[in-house]
Structure 1
Amino acid sequence: MDITVEEQPTALVAVVRERVAMDALAAFYDRAYRAVVQEVAAAGLAVTGPAFGWYRDMTPDSVDLAAGFWVDADDVGPLGGGVEVVELPGGPAAVGMHVGRYEGLPGAWDELRTWMSDNPADMRGDFLEVYVTDPSEVADPDLNETRLVLPIVP
């Protein structure tokens, strides 16, 4: 995997955020994405970017996770149904692209963490998985593209 340091823009995103048990991630993502799409449309906004998961405060059993989409909102705030528009902070990040099944993501993250240990930088403490391809539109799961974004302290 090629890894580069890229400047990420600050953006407004619509998300559902919860502490999620590791064995409940798939169900959370399904529920969160449906709710975000519904509430964004109800608010007269539009989705402007791919689905993502924003991970914070991970433990072996659970994670503080926000799942949603980039949107064309003008300000932060609640939309309803547990969905809110929040600011996704920008800044430098180590970025790599995983191509393949979601089951391969832990190995891809290991590769990114190894790169980080070889390139001195402090992690901000959160990370993102940006689901570049929509799994429902990709016939072969080996072709899924997931952008791994590991923010670093400038």
Structure 2
Amino acid sequence: MQNYEIHSRTRDEQHTAVAETTLPISEIGPWLGQQYGAVAKVLATQGLAPAGPPFARYHPVAEGRFHIEAGFPVAAAIDPADGVRPATLPGGPAAETTHMGPYDAIEPAYGALAAWVADHDGELAGDAWEVYLTSPDEHPDPATWRTDIVQPYRAR
């Protein structure tokens, strides 16, 4: 089992360009791969570039189903086009950790973040997001995948 080192930091609100949908867990991976390309294409047609690595924010809606926002951080709000819209990631206090390994083994990182927030007299403040630092296309071995998880929180 991976030992998760948790860091707290105050984040600035971040403009993003996202595609969104609601899917069961089994369909998320293929959808994400398609959407990152679609978002990058919209950014390129607007003369913009991502301001960081791809991310996905998961909002649980029912057992095994999530509403997902996936895309890239950007320097300023984009114009909506081709199913891609402007959005933001929230600013404020966040607990963060890095998961090394396959995505289907990431759940303990979320547990570690929730425990850290509770241990530091806080409460979760909205849904977490994942920042994908390793491309599975470039690094096919899941053991090498590096994913940051960001969990907003507030003091009780």
Give the TM-score taking structure 1 as reference length.
Answer: 0.89
Instruction: Report the count of equivalent residues.
Output: 152
Please name the residue that 2:112 is paired with.
111
Gaps of 5+ in 1: none
Match of 2:42 among 39, 43, 53: 39
Q: Give, in angstroms, the shift of residue 10 of structure 1.
A: 0.9
Please name the residue that 2:9 is paired with.
6
The answer to which of 89-98 and 129-138 deviates more is 129-138
Q: Does 1:133 align with 2:139?
A: no
The answer to which of 125-134 and 103-112 deviates more is 103-112
- 2 CA distance for matches of 1:139 and 1:17? 26
Please name the residue that 1:23 is paired with.
26
- 2 CA distance for matches of 1:121 and 1:6? 13
- 1 CA distance for matches of 2:7 and 2:69? 24
- 1 CA distance for matches of 2:139 and 2:75? 26
Aligned AA (2:20):
R
> In the alignment, is the contact (CA less than 8 A) between 1:14 and 1:36 conserved in 2?
yes
Against the structure 1 CA distance between its residues 86 and 35, is the aligned structure 2 distance closer, same or farther, given a 3 Å change threshold? same
Q: Does 1:94 align with 2:98?
A: no
Percent same amino acid among aligned pairs? 32
Gaps of 5+ in 2: none
**Which secondary structure state, in structure 2, belongs to the residue aligned with residue 136 of structure 1?**
coil
Against the structure 1 CA distance between its residues 77 and 87, is the aligned structure 2 distance closer, same or farther, given a 3 Å change threshold? farther
**Which secondary structure state, in structure 2, belongs to the residue aligned with residue 49 of structure 1?**
coil
